[in-house]
Amino acid sequence: MKALVTGGAGFLGRHLVDQLLDSDNDVRILTRGDYPELADRVGIVRGDVRDKEIVQSACAGVDVVFHVAAVPGIWGPWKTFHGINTQGTLNIIEACQLHGVPKLVYTSSPSVVFDGKSHVNADESLPYPSKYLCHYPHSKALAEAAVLEANSDSLATVSLRPHLIWGPRDNHLIPRLIRRAIAGRLVRVGDGTNLVSCAYVENVAAAHRQACDELSPGTRVAGKAYFINEPDPVNLWEWVDQLLDLGGLPPVKRSISARLASSVGTGFEAVYRVLGKKAEPPMTRFLAAQLSQSHTYSIENARRDFGYQPLVTFEEGMARLAPEIKAIADQES
């Protein structure tokens, strides 16, 4: 199989590339950076998903596109999020149609259906909300809707929604958590009882391959979205304390109520907009809700339709991550 992985040098993308290579697939990546360590293993197309010509060149002659590239975050201009996450995805769809690529596997997010409320064992019947608390989920929802609408007899599409991806080589969640803890800026939001579904990165990569294997025009996978995470949720703040402990750091001791955090987030958002600040506020309404509410998702549809089953247990994942957390903590201390 000839596969294109957009964002193939990123956190999830790199794990997906490794698994595809382990299965003797021919892999090409679309990335903005220069990664010489990958040059002898994959084909590299350097460029931005907002560039139609680059995207069309990258998609030529492949059997499947895994569209993983995205800009994450809870703050920033709509132009950036829409340009990369939405328009970039539209460029991918157009390129797939132009070159007759038969399969498109899109990496989405459960935040596309986040309506400001807790979700408990929610399934894919959740609708898109009428409004969003930040640009990231809004831009991803528009992209996902376009991907699913593009499903046809010539292009089979599927969208996967991994929740809270974690694991080795994380360059976002874990380093940020450790830095905040060391700086004394880590505060529990809410009463500390909220449960969340999390998704170990190698399991998420495997889900992409499993969905691809079952994807073809007319199958029950085509044109659908699926939540991807571990079978059992974790208590968010107990898990945070476990991660900190792996780095030799004390547990979170300070706390703030969910209501106060939301009010503080509203204030920060207003001030940052007036001042035109590009840096991410310490708190936003979206972040307050994510840190204080329960968000758990059912994987039964993914299990039924393409046999999704996590390959790595939560305990094994934590063991694999431990050395990295310790190294990050030592470096930041």
Phi, psi of 195 (to 5 degrees): -100, 145
Distances (CA, A) of 6 to 27, 46, 116, 131, 172: 11, 10, 30, 28, 18
Antiparallel, parallel or unpaired: β 234-235 and 195-196: antiparallel
Query: If you ran DSSP here, which 8-state letter would residue 151 be given?
Result: -
Distance from C-alpha of 51 to C-alpha of 145, rounded to nearest angstrom: 21
Distances (CA, A) of 270 to 57, 81, 266, 288: 42, 19, 6, 15
In 3D, which of 84, 124, 73 has the Cα closest to residue 286? 73
Distance from C-alpha of 45 to C-alpha of 59, rounded to nearest angstrom: 10
Q: For residues 20 and 42, is the Cβ–Cβ distance under 8 A?
A: no
Please give the structure tokens belonging to residue 7.
Answer: 């964002």
Give the catalytic positions in this structure.
Answer: 136
What are the E-state strand segments in 180-262?
188-189, 195-196, 199-200, 224-228, 234-235, 255-256
